[in-house]
C-alpha cells in the first residue's frame, strides 16, 4: 500500500467491517472486540473518573471499540475519526446508545468540537500512527476544546520500556527489508520516550497530572489549566492511587512480548499459546488473548489448524 495521507490509508483498512475491526486492534470478531473494548474502557474509567453528566470525546474512535463500552455512562459521547469508513461501523455498533455523535476529522484538528465544550476526552492507539507534528497539533486542539479543569487521557508507544524497544525493533527490521528509495507508510508505528511525550503535553499548554510508564505504553492524563492548584493536586493524588488500574499491567505486557517474539521469528503465536496454557480458564486477561489468538489463527490458513482447546468461546 502506498498512501499519501492518513484518511485514505485508514478508509482503505476499514473498507469492510471486519477489516475495520482488525485494523483497530487485531480483533477478528465482535466477541473479541467487546473483550478488548472492556479492557481499554476500564483503563479510561480509571484515568478519567467519568461522572454521569460528563461530555466526553474520543479522538480516533475507530469502530467504537471503547466508546461502545463507555458511551452509556455519560451525558454525551462524541466519536471523531479521520476515516469515514471507521465511523460508519462505529455508528452501527453504538446504534442503541443515546447521546452519541460522530464526526469525521480533517487532518489534526477537532473542528466539530467548540471551544471549552468538553469535560473529558481520550485517545487510544492513535497518536502512535502519525507524524509527531500532527500529534502536537491535536494536543493543541485538545487544549482548545476542553473546559478549564477538563481531563484528557491518551497513550503512546514507550521506547524506554524493554518490550516497547523490542516492538520498535520489529519496525526497524521491516525498514531494513524495504527496497532502496521506498519509505514506510504514512501511518506506520511511531515511538516516543516518556520525556518526549511530556514535552509535547506541556508544549501544547496542558498540565501533566499522571504519566504511567511500567509497560510498552506511555499513558498520560493531562489537565486543561484553570489556576486551581488545589483541584489539580487532588486529581494528581487520585491518579496516583488509580495508576495500577490505568496500566496495561505485567500480565498483558508478558503476553504482548510473546507476540512480538513470535512475530520476530515469523512464526504463529506459539510462545503466547504456551503462556496462556498455564492460566486458569476464567482468567480475564488470558480469556481476552485466547479470543484474540483464535480469530487471528482462523484468518491465517498458512498457520495450520487452530490449536485444540482454542475454540471461539474458550
Ligand atoms: C489503531 S486504531 C485505534 C482505534 C480506537 N482508538 C481503538 O482503540 O479501538 C487507530 C484509529 O485512529 C484513526 N486515525 C489514524 N490516523 C488519524 C489521524 N491522523 N487523525 C485522526 N484519527 C486517526 C484511524 O482511522 C483508526 O480508527
pLDDT digits (tens, 9 = 90+) for 104-162: 999 899 999 999 999 999 999 999 999 999 999 999 999 999 999 999 999 999 999 99
The CA 7 to ligand 1 mean position distance, Å, reads: 10
Confidence of residue 269 (pLDDT cuts 50, 70, 90): very high
Q: Whose CA is nearest to atom 26 of ligand 1?
A: 62
Average pLDDT along the chain = 95
* Cα dihedral 110→115→116→122 (10° resolution): 0
Is the predicted pLDDT of residue 10 greater than 80, yes or no? yes
The domain 6-247: what is its CATH number?
A: 3.40.50.150
What average pLDDT does the segment 162-187 reach? 92
From residue 128, how far is each of 63, 125, 133, 208, 313 by CA, in Å? 17, 6, 12, 19, 31
Q: Whose CA is nearest to atom 18 of ligand 1?
A: 82
Q: Which residues line ligand 1 (CB under 6 A)?
A: 6, 10, 24-25, 40, 60-62, 65-66, 81-83, 86, 105, 124-126, 129-130, 134, 187
Domain locations along the chain: 6-247, 253-303
Euclidean distance between CA atoms 197 and 217, whole angstroms: 11
Amino acid at each position: 500500500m502506498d498512501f499519501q495521507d492518513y484518511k485514505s490509508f485508514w478508509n482503505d483498512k476499514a473498507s469492510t467491517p471486519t477489516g475495520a475491526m482488525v485494523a483497530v486492534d487485531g480483533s477478528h470478531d465482535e466477541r473479541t472486540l467487546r473483550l478488548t473494548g472492556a479492557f481499554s474502557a476500564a483503563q479510561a474509567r480509571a484515568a478519567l473518573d467519568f461522572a454521569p453528566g460528563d461530555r466526553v470525546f474520543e479522538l480516533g474512535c475507530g469502530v467504537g471499540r471503547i466508546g461502545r463500552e463507555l458511551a452509556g455512562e455519560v451525558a454525551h459521547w462524541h466519536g471523531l475519526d479521520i476515516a469515514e469508513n471507521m465511523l460508519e461501523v462505529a455508528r452501527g455498533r453504538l446504534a442503541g446508545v443515546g447521546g452519541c455523535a460522530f464526526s469525521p476529522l480533517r487532518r489534526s484538528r477537532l473542528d466539530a468540537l467548540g471551544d471549552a465544550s468538553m469535560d473529558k476526552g481520550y485517545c487510544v492507539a492513535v497518536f502512535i500512527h502519525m507524524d509527531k507534528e500532527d500529534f502536537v497539533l491535536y494536543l493543541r486542539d485538545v487544549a482548545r476544546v476542553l473546559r478549564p479543569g477538563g481531563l484528557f487521557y491518551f497513550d503512546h508507544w514507550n521506547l524506554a520500556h524493554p518490550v516497547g524497544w523490542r516492538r520498535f525493533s520489529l519496525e526497524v527490521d521491516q525498514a531494513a527489508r524495504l527496497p532502496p528509495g521506498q519509505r514506510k507508510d504514512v501511518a506506520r508505528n511511531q515511538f516516543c520516550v516518556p520525556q518526549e511525550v511530556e514535552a509535547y503535553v506541556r508544549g501544547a499548554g496542558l498540565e501533566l497530572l499522571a504519566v504511567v510508564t511500567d509497560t510498552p505504553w506511555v499513558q498520560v492524563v493531562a489537565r486543561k489549566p484553570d489556576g486551581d492548584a488545589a483541584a489539580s493536586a487532588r486529581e494528581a493524588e487520585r491518579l496516583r492511587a488509580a495508576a495500577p488500574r490505568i496500566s496495561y499491567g505485567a500480565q498483558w505486557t508478558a503476553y504482548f512480548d510473546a507476540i512480538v517474539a513470535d512475530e520476530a521469528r515469523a512464526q504463529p503465536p506459539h510462545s503466547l499459546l504456551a503462556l496462556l496454557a498455564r492460566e486458569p480458564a476464567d482468567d480475564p486477561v488470558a480469556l481476552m488473548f485466547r479470543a484474540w489468538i483464535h480469530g487471528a489463527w482462523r484468518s491465517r490458513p498458512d498457520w495450520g489448524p487452530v490449536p485444540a482447546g482454542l475454540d471461539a468461546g474458550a
